[in-house]
Amino acid sequence: MGHESDEVAYAADEAGRGKSESEPAVLDRTASNQIGEMNLESSHQLKRGLKSRHIQFLALGGAIGTGLFVGSGQILATTGPAPLFMAYLSMMLCVWVVMNDLAEMVTYLPMKGISIPYFVGRFVEPSLAFASGWNYWYAYAMLIGAECTAGAIILQYWTTAVPVAVWIAIQLLVILFLNIIAVSFFGEAEFWFASVKLLTIIGLIILGIVLFFGGGPTHDPLYFRYWRDPPGAFVPYLVGGSTGRFLAYWTALVRAGFSFITSPELIALSAGETVAPRRNIPKAARRFVWRLAVFYGLGSLVIGVVVPNDDDRLLSGDSNASASPYVIGIARAGIPVLNHIINAAILTSAWSAGNAFCYSGSRVLYSMALNGQAPRWFALTTRRGVPWVAVGFTLLIGCLAFLNVSNGGAEVFQWFTNISTISGFIAWIVVMVTYLRFRRAMARRGMLEALPFRTPLQPYATYAALLLISLLTLTNGFQVFFPSQWSASSFLAAYITIPIFLALYLGHKIVYRTPLAIRTDDVDVLSGKKEMDDMCAAEVEPVPRNWVQKAWFWLA
């Protein structure tokens, strides 16, 4: 799952410090509703040290996490292996569209300090940008609780003698320590954590292929045994027949979103530090999606091969004796010790993700405080520049993980995944609306051909993805409306995010009397373009001197 890197810290740190002289008067906003303006002087632009392979690595490390390692087991237990596989591939199409939308915008304007709310405020209107900023913080805070819950679940694989509250408290204290005291180690730690996650998923895919063909200790080929044996590839959900199979797929699709939220934004937010951004951002965006499709496609297929969906150790509402499906598959294959090694690797994934979400969420809150989007005291920092109030408040929301004490781990994990997934879906909806406004403004000025990166099937792919994600957002908790499935807690987890977002949006609009949307003719698509054109024109594309370099340039 997606974690933010240092770019989030300054995604709006420079907000409001400079105003582009070519910006139309209609965008002249006060500090209280300002989203962020860019200082375009070369001395104020970030040092560009990130290459295509760096930002792909950051994004892949952020996207591969507990959603795949733990959450996939919940999907498998509920819906079966076929919906699990289909849902991840389907969600990849949505990620592809969102990634393309962001890549087109940030490749056009790869400036320092760009953030999603900045583009929303510039191309749509300030109130939506305000709500979007708070929505990102809300998502990160809830994701801390999700990761701590996942960590407690993973630790309980080894022992249930230790109260779950102890595991959660230890995780939260470590996250607090790393974000307040040892923040200087954050970047280096995240690099190694991402390395562990990538090596782990590659190893698990290879292991799954070996077990598929009978390379395990028992030499019994698994093939697609668990897709054929009862209950089969599909587990009808709530009702029988084809309707039940469709509901299983739809449920899997909603839950698969948890694995990808905030991940497309990573490449976009790194544009300000990327070497030759108009060459490397499109390259990274294209390859990130395909590589992620391979990891999630093969990774989810392996899960359905090595574990039957009715294994009572899977994370499900009926059983709290839970573990990662990969660990269960290794144990079922009779491979000694390896299950504990993989469980430890997955634990580091959950722990590092929780740390990264606290870092990202606190910096988003800090940035909003600087812009007048949040109370000023969230901008208070230590002598080392750590926004300790923002860190503490973000981590306080993460303490909702202690709900595990009075509820099952599977149930609480589902609450957190629902809440954070819908926040992520709302963020994607805002991104797609922003892109459509940006594209319309460019078309109105006859500037579409000026885009340095254009993606296929636009704007139709964005309209289709916008419709699908909107439907998923509105129907994500459909099961609670079945009489036998009603639960007030599940209803709130599924839908509480929507009224919170609307309250932020409408409240800001009423207070500051912002327009419904900036008129298309007044949308500013010119500020920063000349400076970025000049910067990119001065770049020299490396020329490979031999076939080894040619292959490396293509791969990386």
Q: What is the per-residue pLDDT across 263-281, written as a single tens digit (0 to 9) for each?
A: 787 776 666 556 677 777 8
DSSP state of 496: T
Look at residue 282 in the predicted model and tell me its pLDDT: 83
Provide Rg for the chain, Cα atoms.
Answer: 23
Burial class of residue 397 in the structure, from the number of CB atoms within 10 Å of its CB (0-12 exposed, 13-18 middle, 19+ buried): middle
Look at residue 425 in the predicted model and tell me its pLDDT: 95
Answer whether 100's CB lies under 8 Å from 255's CB: no
Look at residue 13 in the predicted model and tell me its pLDDT: 38
**What DSSP letter does each residue of 42-74 carry, written as one string?**
GGGSPP--B-HHHHHHHHHHHHSSHIIIIIHHH
Look at residue 510 in the predicted model and tell me its pLDDT: 93
For residue 403, the tally of other CB atoms under 10 A from its CB is 18
For residue 52, the one-letter residue type is S
Look at residue 422 in the predicted model and tell me its pLDDT: 92
Look at residue 10 in the predicted model and tell me its pLDDT: 34
Answer whether 418's CB lies under 8 Å from 476's CB: yes
For residue 393, the tally of other CB atoms under 10 A from its CB is 19
Look at residue 555 in the predicted model and tell me its pLDDT: 56
Task: Tell me, yes or no, if the pTM score tops 0.95.
Answer: no
Helix (H, G, I), strand (E, B) or coil at 178: helix
Report how far residue 402's alpha carbon sits from residue 193's, in angstroms, rounded to the nearest whole number. Answer: 25
Look at residue 40 in the predicted model and tell me its pLDDT: 45
- Residue ranges of E strands in 429-551: none
Q: Which residues of the chain have pLDDT under 70?
A: 1-63, 112-113, 182-191, 268-275, 315-322, 406-410, 533, 535-544, 548-556
Look at residue 356 in the predicted model and tell me its pLDDT: 77
15: Cβ–Cβ under 8 A, 6 or more apart, which residues? 34, 35, 36, 37, 113, 118, 367, 370, 371
Side-chain-side CA neighbours of residue 185 (13 Å): 13
Answer whether 412's CB lies under 8 Å from 403's CB: yes
Report how far residue 196's alpha carbon sits from residue 413's, in angstroms, rounded to the nearest whole number. Answer: 23
- The enclosing H or E element of 472 equals helix 460-475
